[in-house]
């Protein structure tokens, strides 16, 4: 059993998928890499078929089903003790895995979040403000102190991910993971990470409509069992 399963949901990332996989593969940790191509139409699937890293698993969805669906497909095929989510772009640095794993091994920590928006952050203003608003709403409704629940880097034991009973098919998976951890009273640790946001011109996918969906999901999870 590998120590870490790196799950990479991919949708139309032909320009970066080769580079991010090279970076992930280069991290000195016992790992498996599970890529789920979520119905890409830009040649991502062709690039993936040409890659042959050790312990690389590639799964193809025949149609685009969403980030959550891709993550859940990968989770069902994972075997590592720990699981982390990795975006297929170059916004996040896989070298951060080591300090996140070091943190989760401390007493009773169930979920480690890689926090992007630290003091001195210089990036896209609108996504930062949107994140602040959504995190504030979540914190008010759940009595929490979460800085960045929409971060890609969420590290948990595979067994804990499974126990959460996750169902979200789209970007809502990010909110569902954190909210279900909060509702179960799991201990969450937040660790600063480096972050290089790409622009919408470069392919950033989160839009205003996704922010509205997050608001609906946060309220829905707050008042559901």
**Cβ-contact 175, 214 below 8 angstroms:** yes
Note down the domain range covering 196: 4-222
43 pLDDT band, cuts 50/70/90, is very high
CB atoms within 10 A of CB 74: 22
- Write the CATH number for 151: 3.90.550.10
- The conformation of residue 110, written as its DSSP 8-state character, comes to E
- For residue 111 the two structure tokens come to 């979920």
Whole-model pTM: value is: 0.90
For the chain, what is the mean pLDDT?
A: 90
- Using one digit for the tens of pLDDT, what is the confidence trace for 198-223? 655 555 556 677 778 889 889 888 88
Q: Are 44 and 12 in contact (CB under 8 A)?
A: yes
Per the DSSP assignment, residues forming a β-bridge with 58 are 35
Task: Grade residue 129 by pLDDT with cuts at 50, 70 and 90.
Answer: confident
**Joined tokens for residue 156:** 């948990």
Beta bridge partners of 8: 35
Q: Which residues pair with 35 in a beta bridge?
A: 8, 58
Tokens 């959460």 belong to: 164
How many domains in the chain? Answer: 1
């Amino acid at each position: 059993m590998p120590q870490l399963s790196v799950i990479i949901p991919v949708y139309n990332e032909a320009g970066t998928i080769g580079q991010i996989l090279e970076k992930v593969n280069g991290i000195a940790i016992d790992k498996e890499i599970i890529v789920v191509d979520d119905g890409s139409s830009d040649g991502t699937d062709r690039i993936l078929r040409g890659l042959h890293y050790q312990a690389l698993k590639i799964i193809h969805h025949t149609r685009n089903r969403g980030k959550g669906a891709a993550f859940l497909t990968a989770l069902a095929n994972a075997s590592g003790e720990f699981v982390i989510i990795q975006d297929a772009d170059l916004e996040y640095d896989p070298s951060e895995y080591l300090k996140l794993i070091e943190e989760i091994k401390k007493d009773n920590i169930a979920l480690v979040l890689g926090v992007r928006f630290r003091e001195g952050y210089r990036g896209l203003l609108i996504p930062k403000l949107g994140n602040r608003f959504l995190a504030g709403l979540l914190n008010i409704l759940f009595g929490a102190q979460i800085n960045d629940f929409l971060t890609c880097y969420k590290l948990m034991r595979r067994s804990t991910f499974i126990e959460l009973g996750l169902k979200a098919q789209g970007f809502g998976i990010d909110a569902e993971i954190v909210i279900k951890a909060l509702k179960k009273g799991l201990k969450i640790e937040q660790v600063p990470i480096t972050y290089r946001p790409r622009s919408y011109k470069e392919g950033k996918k989160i839009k205003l409509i996704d922010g509205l969906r997050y608001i609906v999901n946060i309220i829905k999870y707050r008042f559901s069992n």
